[in-house]
Amino acid sequence: MSGEYDLARASFAELLRQAEAEQGDPDVLGRALLNEIVSFWRQSRSWNDVAEELRFTADSLDPDTDFEFMRP
């Protein structure tokens, strides 16, 4: 699984470099990528499952709370 995370990290870094070179807004890029990810997930997952995935991620944003590595 580590390979997928490394690939995502490297790909995202390259996208940020490209956006910077084109004077793009990184926040807009982030929203566009999130939209693409949600659309991709919706091809094979229910909207409830996608919502739960996003909810879990949102609930794990607090830096003062331990990050749970597995969804319930």
pLDDT tens digits, residue range 21-47?
999 999 999 999 999 999 999 999 999
| Three-state helix/strand/coil letters over 30-62 | HHHHHHHHHHHHHCCCCHHHHHHHHHHHHHCCC
Query: In Å, how far are 1, 31, 63, 72 from 66, measured between CA atoms?
Result: 21, 25, 7, 15
The band of 6, judged by pLDDT with boundaries at 50, 70 and 90, is very high
pLDDT at 70 over 70: no
**Tokens 């790909």 -> residue:** 11
Tell me the pTM. Answer: 0.77
